[in-house]
Amino acid sequence: MYWNGHMGPWGWLAMSLTALVFWALIIAAAVLVARSFKRDGAAAQGAAAHAAPAPRAASAEGAETLLAERYAKGEIDDEEYARRLAVLRGHAPGPAPP
């Protein structure tokens, strides 16, 4: 690499490219670490927001709609529809009203 005590042109090129690659790797590692911390924080906040239970009224409406669809398709009969609807609404299942 040295010629007469001086670095040749290939030595300068190799040293410059090595320095560029080194600093690019350092910057890339810093960016990846920063993104990782940011993503973990956002995921924790997002998970907390999504983990909150849905209001009971909204979930009961969805369940009643699904039950009505199954009844309309003929998948369940009158007695089972009435029994399951009573369970969803929190009433004790009893004989179906006339």
Please tell me the total count of domains within the chain: 2
b/e 63-88 (16+ beta carbons within 10 angstroms → b)? eeeebeeebeeeeeeeeebbbbbeee
Q: Name the pTM for this structure.
A: 0.37
* pLDDT band (50, 70, 90) for residue 95: low
Does residue 44 belong to any structural domain of this protein? yes
Domain housing 16: 2-51
Q: Give the distance from CA 23 to its chain's centroid.
A: 34
**Phi, psi torsion values for 42, nearest 5 degrees:** -70, -35
Residue 83 has pLDDT above 80, yes or no: yes
* pLDDT band (50, 70, 90) for residue 56: low
Query: Does residue 6 share a domain with residue 43?
Result: yes
Does residue 96 belong to any structural domain of this protein? no
